[in-house]
């Protein structure tokens, strides 16, 4: 008999009832409320069917039928929201997954730690330099890195800027994937300059060649493209 799944009591504001040990102190609560209200009216960054698809992929990993590969920065910055940086991160994930697919003979679920890593925890609420104490820098989603009272004051508008940067990043990744960037038939799209200078470059290119040959063979035998 299958176990029933308990209903979740989650709702968009349920986080407010939880204890937050890493929470910035906003001096203007009215401005914070306005920013949160604005955010609540904006379209979701991900769709419900994307979430359901990811759950299905994770279920396969839980059953040992796939491998989960997660990669990305500990904390992103707004300034790093550029096509060059996004493409480079995606290339690394794709290259790593290619090697894992070859070695494990299993599908790889690629999870990018990106498009939203704009906040970071701190060991202390304040930072002191030359006798001056200011709030700690908690990431671009909260305040700014400059060591001035203005920069370190948490700004609710940064939350909305974070939403914009996350949306731009994720939509760019979607467009790359929809355009065939992640297609195993074209691993040359993923080449990074430093890979050619690596001691493992020859081994990596042998893996790429082997996978390409295998795909060509399967497509010839089956009469369909993978």
Q: Which CATH number is 44's domain given? A: 3.20.20.70
Distance CA 67, CA 146 (A): 41
93-111: b (≥16 Cβ within 10 Å) or e: bbbebbbbbeeeeeebbbe
Tokens describing residue 160: 């909305």
> pLDDT by residue (tens digit) across 4-60?
556 678 888 888 888 888 889 999 999 999 999 999 999 999 999 999 999 999 999
Is residue 106 in some structural domain? yes
User: Which residue range forms the structural domain that includes residue 75?
Assistant: 25-221
Domain assignment of residue 167, yes or no: yes
Cα dihedral sign, 53-85-75-29: negative
Distance from the Cα of residue 139 to its chain's centroid: 16
DSSP element (H, E) containing 111: strand 108-113
Question: For the chain, which residues score pLDDT lower than 70?
Answer: 1-7, 183-201, 204-205, 207-226
What are the angstrom distances between the C-alpha of 57 and each of 22, 54, 62, 203?
31, 5, 9, 29
1 located within any domain: no
Q: What angle do CA 226, 85, 48 make, to 5 degrees?
A: 55
> Total structural domains in the chain?
1
* Residue 211 included in any domain: yes
């Amino acid at each position: 008999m299958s176990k029933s799944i308990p209903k979740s009591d989650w709702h968009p504001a349920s986080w407010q009832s939880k204890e937050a040990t890493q929470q910035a102190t906003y001096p203007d609560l009215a401005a914070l409320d306005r920013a949160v209200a604005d955010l609540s009216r904006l379209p979701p960054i991900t769709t419900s069917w994307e979430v359901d698809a990811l759950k299905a992929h994770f279920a396969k990993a839980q059953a040992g039928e796939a491998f989960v590969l997660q990669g990305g920065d500990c904390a992103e910055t707004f300034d790093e929201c550029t096509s060059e940086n996004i493409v480079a991160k995606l290339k690394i994930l794709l290259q790593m997954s290619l090697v894992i697919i070859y070695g494990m003979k299993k599908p790889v679920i690629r999870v990018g730690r990106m498009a939203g890593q704009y906040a970071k925890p701190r060991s202390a609420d304040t930072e002191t330099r030359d006798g001056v104490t200011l709030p700690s820098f908690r990431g671009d989603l909260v305040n700014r890195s400059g060591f001035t009272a203005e920069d370190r004051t948490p700004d609710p508008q940064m939350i909305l800027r974070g939403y914009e940067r996350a949306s731009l990043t994720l939509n760019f990744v979607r467009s790359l994937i929809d355009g065939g960037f992640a297609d195993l038939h074209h691993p040359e799209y993923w080449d990074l300059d430093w890979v050619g200078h690596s001691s493992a470059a020859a081994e990596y290119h042998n893996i790429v060649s082997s996978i390409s040959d295998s795909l060509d063979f399967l497509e010839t035998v089956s009469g369909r493209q993978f």
